Chain A
């Protein structure tokens, strides 16, 4: 059974940093593109970042470019999102999601999400 379990969400002050993790199991993690998607309270889904299967290719939404860094450890079956210079507008539930074997695929499995709150 495919499972994605996010962790690391917390209350952080504006300008602070946080690292999210997503532990994957039930599939060959190293074969898939992986994504982070966020959802602000009461709002819709917004794609944040993705990484290819071996970690050599990454992309970001304009709103987080230069502040967030996605990475993965295929030996640990874990996806990460390093979030720096956090702003109030980054407050959201952050989901990790599995893509496919190419970037042009839908997101077929999602974790339950982890809540990041940026507030003083």
Chain B
């Protein structure tokens, strides 16, 4: 199974500042035939289900604010929130859908306001 490891486990950032969350996979999730990274990011606010933010490592889901961006390739990925808003407080998860089953998630990163 591919193991997804996020860092840090928790993060406190001031409003308006940049937040960066990292995700590392134990094997590459880049499919060479189409040059796509099978990596997604989800946001989960307290008491709510997860919400898809980013897929193919860098494609924003419809309706997701452009302050959210994804980058990386192969085994190392980053979710960046360019200017933190109060409503961005949540737990963020990365997920690989390259080698399935199982689909594996990172352990989550809790983002708070400093």
Question: B32 interface residue, CB < 8 Å from A?
Answer: no
Convert A70-83 into 0s and 1s, putting 1 for each residue whose CB lies closer than 8 angstroms to a CB of B: 00000000000000
Question: B61 interface residue, CB < 8 Å from A?
Answer: yes
Q: Give residues in A with beta carbon < 8 Å to B.
A: 35, 37, 44-47, 50, 59-62, 95, 103-113
Interface CB pairs A-B, < 8 A, 18: A44-B107, A45-B42, A47-B102, A47-B104, A59-B101, A62-B102, A95-B49, A104-B38, A104-B97, A104-B98, A105-B97, A106-B95, A107-B50, A108-B61, A110-B49, A110-B50, A111-B49, A112-B48
Q: Give residues in B with beta carbon < 8 Å to A.
A: 38, 40, 42, 44, 48-52, 55, 61, 93, 95, 97-98, 100-108
Shortest beta-carbon distance, A81 to chain B, in Å? 15
How many A-B pairs with Cβ below 8 Å? 61
Residue of A nearest to B62 (CB): A108
Residue of A nearest to B38 (CB): A104
Complex Cα distance, B105 from A3, in Å, reads 23
Complex Cα distance, B93 from A4, in Å, reads 21
Shortest beta-carbon distance, B84 to chain A, in Å? 22
Residue of B nearest to A35 (CB): B103
Determine if B98 and A46 form an interchain contact, defined as CB atoms under 8 angstroms apart: no
Determine if B100 and A107 form an interchain contact, defined as CB atoms under 8 angstroms apart: no
Determine if A106 and B52 form an interchain contact, defined as CB atoms under 8 angstroms apart: yes
What residues on A are CB-neighbors of B100 within 8 Å?
A: 50, 59, 103-104
Complex Cα distance, B55 from A59, in Å, reads 22
